[in-house]
Structure 1
C-alpha cells in the first residue's frame, strides 16, 4: 500500500508503542536502579482514546487518533498506521518529526544545563536573541523577549501597547488597540481580547477593554479608525495588531499594499505596528518572516513581531522581537516576566531549527513545493475543489461546498492529516521538509475526491471567509 494511504508499520505492536517507550503494565526499567519512564497500558487507538476521555479535560473533544511516533513528514498511530502529516502540529514541526540535528541539540543541552531562572543568562538564550535580530534585519537598539508560546508572545505585545500610552494630546491619551476581524491571536485573556471570533470571546467576557476590530483588508475602514474624528471620539491608537496571513480565518494573506499603508498610519500617529507571525514566521511562507515578502510587506519595518510555533521545531518556545530602541524599552524591569521563557533547552532547539532551515535550503524548498501544491490542487479537476490560496507551505484548499469536515475525515482514512479550518476550507501546513513526491501524493488525493461529496455534505453549513476583494489602495477623492 502507498505510504500516504494508510500503510501499516511493522514497528511497535499494539501493546508496546514507541513513545520513549510505551510498555505493557508492569514494565520494568532497563537499567538497575533507574527510574521507570515507561508509559504502561494497552496499546490500541481505541483503548488509548477511552483512557483519554476519562483523564484529559474535554477542551478539544476526543482525539482523531492517538499518535505514538514520527519520522520526517510521517507519523504513526497506536495501531501502526502511517500518515503523511500535512498539519505539522499546526505549523509547529518545521523540520518534521525526530529530526536528528534537533534531537541531538536538545539532548546535548539538557545533559549540560536544562533550566535556570531569568536571574541568569545562558549562551543559547543570548545567541538565539542575536540570531533572531539578524534574521529580522532589526535596527540598532532592537531587543528580544522570550516566551513559551504564541499566546504568551501576544500577551507581551499587548502589554507593550498598554505602555505606549502617552499620545500627541498628552499622557495617557493612547487608549485604543486595533485588530482585524477574522484574526486569531491566542486564548489567554489579553490575546483573546485581540481575537475577533465571538464564540471564543463571549464565554470569558469581560475581557481587557479598549480593543476595536477593523474589517479585514479594508483600508478605508483602517484610515477611519485613525482619523481625527475617531481620535476625538474614542482616543488615540496605541497599536495595530495584524497577522500578515490570517491562519484560522482560512489562510487569508493581507492584500498587497495594506501593510505599507498601515505602517504609514501607525508611524504618523505614534502607534505601534505589531505583526503576529506566530504561524507565518520561521520560514513557513518561504521567507524568514512573511512581512519580508515584497507582495505582503512592501519593504516595511514593523515595531513588534511575535513568534512561536515553528521556532522550536516542536519544542515550546516563543519570542517577541522589538524593532528599535523605542519599542524595545516599553517593558522595563519588573514589568513583565516568565519562568521558562528562553530556557537553555528551548533556545537550543530554536537555534538548531534555524540552523537546519538555513543549512538545508528549506526556504527555497518551501517556495517550490508550496507553489507545486497550490497550482496542482487548484488545477486538479475535482468538482469538490474550488481553488487554493496561501503563501509557501501555509495553504488553504477552497472547497465548492461546506464539506471540509468530510474531506478531513476522508484524508485521514487515506493516510493524510489535514485541518478543516473553515466549513469550506481545508488548511495545509506541512513540515518545511515536504518533498515534491509527497506533494504529488497530496494533489492526487484532492483530485480523487468523490464528486458526490459536494451534493450531500454532512458538515455544518456555512462558508469560509473569502479571499479579500477590497483593494488595498487608498480611495480616490
Structure 2
C-alpha cells in the first residue's frame, strides 16, 4: 500500500459532509481511463456526470488552456475579452440564439434563465405574470431558486421557505400542463431529457405541445440543456432533434469539457430585459474558461463526431440488451446518444448503488439516476474497444449482484 499525504479518510476530516465519495481517489486520467492513488485503472462511463465530453486531458483542450494561461486569466466585467466574444459568436452561429450570458455552472445558467424569464414578463406584461411551471422529477441546480423550480421536493427539505410562484406538473403529460397554465404563467421550464430524474426523454409531440401552449399564453419556453446539450444526444443540442425552438436555453457541463463554465442563450427580444446592472457574474466569461470551451465546441460540432455518438449509443444498447437476455435485470433501456438509462426491474429496486460498487471493484466508473436507473454518460469520443471492455466489466458486476 502506497502512502499518501492525503487520502479518502482526509475527506471526513476536512470537508463538509454533503458528499459521500467512493473509497478510491482518482489522480490521473487519459481519454476514457482513470487511475487512482494505488495505480488501479478504471474505465470511465460516468464522464464526470456528462461533463468530460472529450474524455480526460484531451490534447486540444490542454493546448487551449496552456496558451490562454500564458496570456490573460481574469478581468472584471468592466471589460470584455476575445475568448468570450469568440465563444459567444460560435454559440450564436450554431444555434437559434442572438445573445449569450456566461457564468460558471449549470445552476447559475438556470438561475439567470429564470430571473430573465420573470424580468421579461414584468417588463412586457406586468408583475402578475410571474409563475414558472416545471415538471416533477426535474433537476435544475442547487441554488434556492433552482431547487425550487426543480421537481424533487427532497432537495428543498430544510431550506424553506422557498421562492413562491413555482408550479409543477407531470412530464410528458400535455393535458396536465394545459390545466396548470394561465395568463400568470411567465415560463415553462423543461429538460429535453430528464437526467437526474431517470433519463426520461421528452415525447416529441409533448414538447411541440409545450411550445404551442407557451405561445398561446405569451410565456417563454426555457430548455435546460445542461446535461443533454453539447453533442450528448448526437446533435449539438437536443432541441434540434425535437422540432421546437426555445426562447431561452441553458448549457454547462460538457460546454467546458471539464473546465467550469455555464451559458444562457436567448433571443434579442428577450435579452433586452437584462439591461445594464440587472444581472452579473464575477468569473462568468473569464478568458480561461472561454478559451477552453471555444475549443470544445469547435471539436464537438463536427458532423462525423456527432454521427458517431449515435453509433456508439447502438453499441451500448446492444451490450445492455445482451446482458438483459442473460440476467433479466432491466425493465427498460432508454435515452438518446450517449445519455443512456437502464432501469432495473422491480426485483432489483434499490440495488443501483450495489451495482455501482460492484462495477468499481471491476474497474468501471458508472452513475445512477435515482436508486433504480443505471446512467451512462461517457466521453462522446470513447473508443469502441473501451465500450466493449467496460461493458464486460459491468456484466461481471451485475453477475456478482444477481448471485448475492
Same fold, judged at TM 0.5 (above): yes
What residue is the counterpart of 2:264 in the other structure?
Answer: 320
SS in structure 2 opposite 1:282? coil
Q: How far apart are 1:360 and its partner, in Å?
A: 8.6
Q: 1:282-321, aligned counterparts within 5 Å?
A: 282-293=230-241, 297=242, 299-321=243-265
Alignment gaps of 5+ in structure 2: none
Deviation sequence 1:252-305 (CA, Å, 0-9, x none): 001121111111110121101000000011001110001111xxx2x2111000
Contact in 2 for aligned 1:282/1:311 (Cα 8 Å) = yes
Alpha-carbon distance in structure 2 between the residues aligned to 1:452 and 1:53: 29
What residue is the counterpart of 1:79 in the other structure?
Answer: 38
Contact in 1 for aligned 2:309/2:337 (Cα 8 Å) = yes
Q: 372-381 or 442-451: which moved more?
A: 442-451
Greater radius of gyration (CA)? 1
Paired residue for 1:159, among 108, 115, 129? 115
Alpha-carbon distance in structure 1 between the residues aligned to 2:295 and 2:163: 37
Q: How far apart are 1:453 and its partner, in Å?
A: 3.4
What residue is the counterpart of 1:389 in the other structure?
Answer: 334
Verify: 1:199 aligned to 2:151, yes or no. no
Alpha-carbon distance in structure 1 between the residues aligned to 2:400 and 2:70: 56
Verify: 1:150 aligned to 2:93, yes or no. no
What residue is the counterpart of 1:187 in the other structure?
Answer: 142
What is the root-mean-square deviation in Å for CA atoms of aligned residues? Answer: 1.9
Q: How far apart are 1:167 and its partner, in Å?
A: 9.0
Verify: 1:280 aligned to 2:236, yes or no. no
Q: TM-score, normalised by structure 2?
A: 0.94
Paired residue for 2:179, among 209, 224, 237? 224
Paired residue for 1:256, among 191, 196, 204? 204
What residue is the counterpart of 2:86 in the other structure?
Answer: 127
What residue is the counterpart of 2:383 in the other structure?
Answer: 435
**Relative CO higher for 1 or 2, CA cutoff 8 Å, sep ≥ 6?**
2
SS in structure 2 opposite 1:369? helix
Aligned CA distance change for structure 1 residues 369 and 63 (closer, same or farther; 3 Å): same
Alpha-carbon distance in structure 1 between the residues aligned to 2:398 and 2:90: 47
Q: 1:12-91, aligned counterparts within 5 Å?
A: 14-15=2-3, 42=4, 48-91=7-50
Q: How far apart are 1:366 and its partner, in Å?
A: 1.1
Structure with bigger helix share is 2
Q: How far apart are 1:135 and its partner, in Å?
A: 1.3
Matched residues, number: 399
Contact in 2 for aligned 1:244/1:291 (Cα 8 Å) = yes
Deviation sequence 1:102-132 (CA, Å, 0-9, x none): 0110111010011111111111100100101
What residue is the counterpart of 1:4 in the other structure?
Answer: none
Verify: 1:372 aligned to 2:328, yes or no. no
Paired residue for 1:399, among 334, 344, 366? 344
Deviation sequence 1:79-112 (CA, Å, 0-9, x none): 1001001111101111111111101101110100
Contact in 1 for aligned 2:133/2:189 (Cα 8 Å) = yes
SS in structure 2 opposite 1:145? strand
What residue is the counterpart of 1:344 in the other structure?
Answer: 287
What residue is the counterpart of 1:460 in the other structure?
Answer: none
Contact in 1 for aligned 2:231/2:301 (Cα 8 Å) = no
Alpha-carbon distance in structure 2 between the residues aligned to 1:399 and 1:243: 22
Q: How far apart are 1:411 and its partner, in Å?
A: 0.6
SS in structure 2 opposite 1:422? coil
Aligned CA distance change for structure 1 residues 79 and 115 (closer, same or farther; 3 Å): same
Aligned CA distance change for structure 1 residues 454 and 255 (closer, same or farther; 3 Å): farther
Alpha-carbon distance in structure 1 between the residues aligned to 2:177 and 2:21: 40
Alignment gaps of 5+ in structure 1: 1-12, 16-41, 457-477
Q: TM-score, normalised by structure 1?
A: 0.80
Alpha-carbon distance in structure 1 between the residues aligned to 2:170 and 2:205: 16
Aligned CA distance change for structure 1 residues 327 and 455 (closer, same or farther; 3 Å): farther
What residue is the counterpart of 2:218 in the other structure?
Answer: 270
What residue is the counterpart of 2:305 in the other structure?
Answer: 362
What residue is the counterpart of 2:357 in the other structure?
Answer: 409
SS in structure 2 opposite 1:426? strand
SS in structure 1 opposite 2:178? helix
Q: 235-244 or 333-342: which moved more?
A: 235-244
